[in-house]
């Protein structure tokens, strides 16, 4: 017979953890592999380095229809393809 408590009650609800439940908790470093911990640390460092949401957006969001060839050409150069499209359009406007 399984002595573990049910995770979901008869009403489909997850019961609150009791103080006794919390005594069974262990630090993540004790239960996960060093490889997983290294990956987790690397991911959290990467998240800290990325910019957050702008306080006051400097650009406007628009919906724009472009030909598949244009999109494919810009996406072929990798990340930042939308920024590159903006730069091309901005140069064109400045030259006009």
Phi and psi at residue 69, in whole multiples of 5°? -65, -40
Q: How far is CA 86 from the centre of its chain?
A: 24
Q: pLDDT-derived band of residue 1, with 50, 70 and 90 as boundaries?
A: low
- The two three-digit tokens of residue 66, written as one number: 């472009």
Read off the pTM.
Answer: 0.43
pLDDT tens-digit series, residues 9-36: 888 898 888 899 899 999 999 999 999 9
DSSP 77: T
pLDDT tens-digit series, residues 60-95: 889 999 999 999 999 999 999 999 999 999 999 999
The mean per-residue pLDDT over the stretch 51-66 comes to 83
Residue 96 has pLDDT above 70, yes or no: yes
49 vs 73: which has the higher pLDDT = 73
- Are the CB atoms for 27 and 40 separated by under 8 Å? no
């Amino acid at each position: 017979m399984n002595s573990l408590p049910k995770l979901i009650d008869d009403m489909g609800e997850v019961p609150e953890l009791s103080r006794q439940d919390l005594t069974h908790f262990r630090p993540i470093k004790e239960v996960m592999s060093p490889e997983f911990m290294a990956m987790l640390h690397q991911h959290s460092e990467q998240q800290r380095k990325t910019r957050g949401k702008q306080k006051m957006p400097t650009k406007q969001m628009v919906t724009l229809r472009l030909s598949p060839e244009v999109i494919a050409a810009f996406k072929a150069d990798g990340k930042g393809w939308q920024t590159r499209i903006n730069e091309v359009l901005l140069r064109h406007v400045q030259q006009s």
